[in-house]
Amino acid sequence: MQISDSLFRLDGKVALIAGAASGIGQAAARGLAGAGALAICADVNEGGAEQTAAEIRAQGYRAESLALNILDEAEVGIAVKALIEKHGRIDVLACTPAVNVRKRLMNYTGDEFDKVINLNLKGTFHVVQAVGRVMEETKSGSIILFSSIRSVTVEPGQGVYAATKSGLVQLARTLAAELGPSGVRVNCIAPGIVETSLTAPIKDRPEWYDAYAQKNALGRWARADEMAGPVVFLASDASSYVTGAVLFVDGGWTAIDGRFTPPL
C-alpha cells in the first residue's frame, strides 16, 4: 500500500460531535474540523456550541452549531433527521457528554444514581441509536464513544460513574458486532485524568490533583486537546480495520496501576 498523507484526512465528511461546547467534545470538534470534516458542534448549551463553531470557522475550517439535549430521545431523532435532510450524511459521531457524582455508594441517592446513568449511558444510547440507523443504511461510518480508565480501575466515590463507563464499552462492542456487516465501525476512547469542567473540583484540592498526576507514567494530567488526535485516528481511514476496540489515552495510568483514595 502506498503511504499517503491523506490517511488521516476527513475531507468531505460530516462529523457530529455531542458535547462540543467545552472540554473533550470541544477538542474533538476542533480536531475533526482541522482534518477536513464539517464539524457539527452539538450541545445542550446552544451558546457554547455556537462559540466552538465560530472559533473553528475563524480558523478557516468548516463548522456549524446545533442545540441538542441527548436526554430527550425525540429531540435527538428530530435533530439527526434534520442533519440528514441538510447534509445527506453523517460520517462520524463522537459522543462525549458525561457527569459524575463523587460519593460512596452507601451514600448515593436514587436521584443521583439516575442523573449519572441517564446522561452517561442512556443519553449516549439515544444518539448512537439515531445515528447508527443512518450509518447502517448508508453502509459506512465511524462511531466514537468516550469511556474512561474507570471502566477497568476504580477508587472510592467512582462506583456509578465507573459502571456507566464499563457499560459504554459493552455497548460499543455490541454495536461493533451488529453494525460491522454494514461497514460501520464503533470504538471507545478511554481517557485518564483530563483537565475539564468535570474534573475542575479536583484542581482545588492540591493533594488530590498532585496525587493523580503521579499515578500515571507521564507524571501529569492530560489536556483536553490531547484527545483530538485519537478521535481523528478513529474517525479516519487510518483505523479502517479497527472496531470494537478500547483505546486507552491515559498517560500509562492503567499500565502502572495507579491508585489514590480521595478525601470524600
What is the rounded CA–CA span in Å between residue 112 and residue 158?
A: 12
Mean pLDDT of 76-83: 98
Rounded to 5 degrees, φ, ψ at 164 are -70, -40
Catalytic (active-site) positions: 161
Q: Is residue 190 within 8 Å of residue 96, measured between CB atoms?
A: no
What is the rounded distance in angstroms from the CA atom of residue 25 to the CA atom of residue 15? 12
Contacts of 106 (CB under 8 A, 6+ apart): none
How many residues are given for the chain?
A: 264
Enumerate residues 6+ apart whose C-beta is below 8 A from 12: 36
Q: Is the pLDDT of residue 64 over 60?
A: yes
**Does the structure show a pLDDT above 70 at 258?**
no
- pLDDT value at position 225? 96
Residue 1 has pLDDT above 60, yes or no: no
35-38 long-range CB contacts below 8 Å, 24 or more apart? 35/8, 35/9, 35/10, 35/232, 35/235, 35/236, 36/9, 36/10, 36/11, 36/12, 37/10, 37/11, 37/13, 37/62, 37/91, 37/92, 37/235, 38/13, 38/14, 38/62, 38/63, 38/64, 38/87
pTM, entire model: 0.94
Q: In this structure, what are the phi and psi dihedrals at residue 37, rounded to the nearest 5 degrees?
A: -80, 155
In the chain the domains, ranked by start, together with CATH numbers, are 14-195+225-248 (3.40.50.720)
Measured CA to CA, the distance from residue 40 to residue 131 in angstroms comes to: 13
pLDDT tens digit sequence for 102-125: 999 999 999 999 999 999 999 999
Read off the C-alpha cell for 31: 480536531
Distance of CA 183 to the CA centre of its chain: 21
Q: Determine contact, residues 248/190, Cβ cutoff 8 Å.
A: yes
Question: 4-18, 48-62, 196-210, 215-229: lowest mean pLDDT where?
Answer: 196-210
| pLDDT score of 259 more than 70 | no
